[in-house]
Structure 1
């Protein structure tokens, strides 16, 4: 087995030039409960981009190996490992200690690609509970998209026990990033109805092909929240997957049904907005607004069962980068040239 490997690290917070490639990094050693994974693919998230720019609001270690999402094959296991064996196909868990239930301070401190070394390297060592089996119907590129975006979308729709998505309900998604597209796919597989927003006719056509019942162009219709509510017959949507943050919350509140749920999973539109709603708006609209950070290992396993049962195929951008081209991949995603998940192949 190799003793050295290619590995990227984040050496600063001034931008993508702080991504540094070491072609002779040491392959990690494993402990008794660890699993050594040889990565075959990784995928990027908006989080990875802003970590290099010093804009990520959660913990980041110095010189961390970036990226949370990875798919690979088990190379070796520690003597106490029970869940995996050499040759198994596995995926990384975003928060290594988040096994089930709610996050706590300890599990929050185990974010892969932020606090814990991530997947933009040829080999990685993880506790066996920090990995899950890859769905059997997916290839490595597709599997690598699930860790963050897939599980975040699943948590948004199913994370609140009393508010789990039901067949026939309405879901509102925003844009064509990874989380939003997964939300469309999961919602349609559950028999729900989807209103998707986007910025172009071309992207709208692709959303329709994925099953979206209605597509609203938010650049042409600035009151898209009101439009979405009208499309439901005036009832409103039961779930909003809110990826833009303060800049779109006003419209999300206009779209929400009584007792509906707005799951805030990001702030692609920026951290501030002049007309951002206040706390009382949740009362005036009688809804639940929740922030969430990906999901647990138990939720990951639930999601994977649904992916296999419904043969759901993650949407991977047609441009796939190599490990050596990581900086180019970051720029490509920053320029919003991607549709769905942007992947890096190690093949």
Structure 2
């Protein structure tokens, strides 16, 4: 009798474990991106339903994927921590900030790189030929003041120009604007926005306006390419949803291979999905540029962690950013 009862209990426990295991993985994946050509892989993943495809191949059945577009990393960081997002495309300062905030709790780290693209500081005032030429009445558009990658790159440039103690010298001139809004204001030419630190293709669109020119790029400031974006998630999501986590990364690798194989097709898809009026040839040229790297490798976040630690913006900078800020599946260089 006891053997029968124990066997029945064991069978019930096994059945429960199997059923809860099957239910454990989420049936909806929530992903956020920002504006611009730098998110082409995510756009392809959404358009071609690549995550859904790989989720089915992993035995997860039908998974709903919800896509959102945010202005900047700071907003997405809050959504990740609050549990309203599963993956977010974050700039370098975005991932550094949330990694630092969530160590020992939510454990947000980079699961993959997305790309490296040079940001461009464009100006429309002919009197501005160097950083020292900005006046108190001038305004510089960045995705988010103080915290975005562009705002931090501007701080790095200011530290080089005036010394580390003056790294915030231009902060009072910055305003938070989305790339599309900043581009519209640069074209209008009648606002206080005289400069925009932006990304492709918005930098190229701005340069079509007579009088707009490039003052410097992030590659000029940082000495080479740094990840424009990484894909970040929480340790909890990764642990609770190993198959869905893997399906997302497999879909990302497939989308990255699609861009590498046919940049013309990628440009066509971008134009169709965003209604961007940029000439197809211009978009292909951006994807082919030496400063553009469509890659899942995470590139040189140390350029930002070193600076943020030096000036006190990061209280406990990583000793080894590759080991501490990335999940094991991510590759870095």
- TM beyond 0.5: no
Of structures 1 and 2, the one scoring higher in RCO (CA 8 A, sep 6+) is: 2
Q: Which protein has the bigger helix share? A: 2
Provide the TM-score with structure 2 as the length reference. 0.24
Q: Which protein has the bigger strand share? A: 1
Structure ID, larger Rg: 2
